[in-house]
Amino acid sequence: MRASATRRKRSTTAPMTGRTAVRPTGRTAARAGVALLTTAAVLSASGCFGSSDSPSRHGPSRGGKSPHAKPKIVWNTSPDSLASLGDSITRGFDACSVLSDCPEVSWSTGSDVNSLAQRLRSGTRSWNFAKTGAVMDDLPDQVTAAVARKPQLVTVMIGANDACRASVSDMTSPEEFRTTFTSALTKLRRELPKTQVYVASVPNLKRLWSEGRKNVLGKQIWKLGICPSMLKDSDALDAASMDRRRQVSKRVNAYNQVLKDVCGRDPLCRYDPAVHNYRFSVRELSKWDWFHPSKAGQQQLAAMAYRRISAR
């Protein structure tokens, strides 16, 4: 007990100075507290402790930036280079002649049509890596080809062939569709962190069936095997046939939800529902298969893409 009392009477040594610091009495401490509070109030009023706009208290000030704020993502409405990925639609299949690609009239990169590349700006460089017959599983390889060119914009229109199978049971599952698309977009973002991406929705295949079946010759062409899951027995309106078409339509809707979800997590990606929502007419379908877009249909696709990409 005596040793403890001795320790309480001893003064302590102030750190860094070597001087003796005397423990303040209760009255002295109270005066010091009042003085400190008064000084703090004055300094705060004069702005020395920061105003209500202080970054340390309320985020970035009106006139400055927080040192931890992320840079604002600015969408470039006039990229000077683009690479197109996708399937036969982007290749202009059956738009100029039967059973042939016609990239010259592609909605994305075509030179003989008012394509997206033509609309963006004069001199836009473009590359078309789409492949006729491509499904979502082919997208990662197309991404690899695009990455080598380092485009400022990549367009993606794919998914119709995942639904256009021999039967409903052969369609790509939404889970597999999501996994592959996520992987492809992740790869693109990792290799090209500043490249913008435009993702078009999968076309409304049931709308194409309802329009194309108005043409007698078109229905005969469909019998050769064009999108059988939707177009087989095009005149059949029995319960089983209508249910089959509903299942294909439902799967296309699921694909579009995947495209929207995955693209929506990337600030430099824009998903466009306009392609699926557009009510194509017979005039905008190929006169060789009444399924793929004609040159007029390609023009419409280009206009839709340009509106979405150039929007501020």
pLDDT of residue 60: 40
Quick check: 114 and 302 in contact, CB under 8 A? yes
- The CATH number of whichever domain residue 275 belongs to comes to 3.40.50.1110
Q: Does 180 reside within a domain? A: yes
In tens, the pLDDT along 39-97 reads 333 333 333 323 333 333 333 444 444 556 666 778 999 999 999 999 999 999 999 99
In tens, the pLDDT along 145-192 reads 999 999 999 999 999 999 999 999 999 999 999 999 999 999 999 999
Residue for token digits 């049931």? 206
C-alpha span between 108 and 90 (Å, rounded): 7
Q: Centre a 10 Å sphere on the Cβ of residue 305 and count the other Cβ atoms it contains.
A: 25
What band does 130 get if pLDDT is binned at 50, 70 and 90? very high
Report which of 115, 64, 79, 34 is spatially closest to residue 305, judged by C-alpha positions: 115
- What's the average model confidence in pLDDT over 195-199? 98
For the entire predicted model, the pTM comes to: 0.77
CA 40 → CA 24, 46, 174, distances in Å? 21, 10, 62
Percent of the chain past pLDDT 90, that is, above it, reads: 72
In tens, the pLDDT along 236-251 reads 999 999 999 999 999 9
Q: Does 304 reside within a domain? A: yes
C-alpha span between 249 and 274 (Å, rounded): 16
What's the total number of domains in the chain? Answer: 1
Q: Which region, left, alpha or beta, applies to residue 201 given φ > 0 means left and ψ of -120 to 50 means alpha? A: beta
Q: Does 197 reside within a domain? A: yes
Q: Does 264 reside within a domain? A: yes
DSSP 98: T
Quick check: 256 and 276 in contact, CB under 8 A? yes
Q: Does 185 reside within a domain? A: yes
What band does 280 get if pLDDT is binned at 50, 70 and 90? confident
In single-letter form, the type of residue at position 2 comes to: R
In tens, the pLDDT along 142-158 reads 999 999 999 999 999 99
- What's the average model confidence in pLDDT over 194-213? 96
pLDDT of residue 66: 52
Is 308 exposed, middle or buried (CB count within 10 Å of its CB: 0-12, 13-18, 19+)? middle
C-alpha span between 151 and 153 (Å, rounded): 5
Domain that holds residue 233: 81-310
Q: Does 113 reside within a domain? A: yes
Phi, psi of 76 (to 5 degrees): -85, 115
Q: Does 57 reside within a domain? A: no
Cα atoms in the 13 Å half-sphere on the side-chain side of 298: 31
Give the pairing type, strands 12-13 and 20-21: antiparallel
Q: Does 15 reside within a domain? A: no
